[in-house]
């Protein structure tokens, strides 16, 4: 569980940096992908 959480934090930082580099217009798309990813990670964490 703690291992998955560490990966999740690194992923969160990577997405935040990525969102900072691209145009603001594309950020909502990234946020949508991020929300889906967050749900997938939550489900994955529930299985371990």
What integer pLDDT is reported at residue 48 of this predicted model? Answer: 63
Query: Measured between alpha carbons, how far is 8 from 38 in angstroms, rounded to an integer?
Result: 8
CA atoms in the 13 A half-sphere facing the CB of 13: 6
What integer pLDDT is reported at residue 45 of this predicted model? Answer: 80
**Span 14-38, pLDDT tens digits:** 877 776 665 555 667 777 888 888 8
Better pLDDT: 22 or 12: 12
Domain boundary assignment for the chain: 2-47
Query: Measured between alpha carbons, how far is 29 from 47 in angstroms, rounded to an integer?
Result: 28
Identify whether the C-beta of residue 6 lies closer than 8 Å to the C-beta of residue 45. Answer: no
- Render 15-48 in DSSP notation, one character per residue: HHHHHHHS-GGGHHHHHHHHHHHHHHHHHHHHH-
What integer pLDDT is reported at residue 17 of this predicted model? Answer: 75
């Amino acid at each position: 569980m703690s291992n998955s959480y560490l990966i999740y934090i690194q992923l969160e930082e990577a997405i935040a940096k990525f969102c900072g580099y691209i145009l603001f217009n594309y950020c909502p798309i990234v946020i949508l992908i991020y929300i889906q990813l967050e749900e997938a990670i939550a489900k994955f964490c529930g299985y371990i």
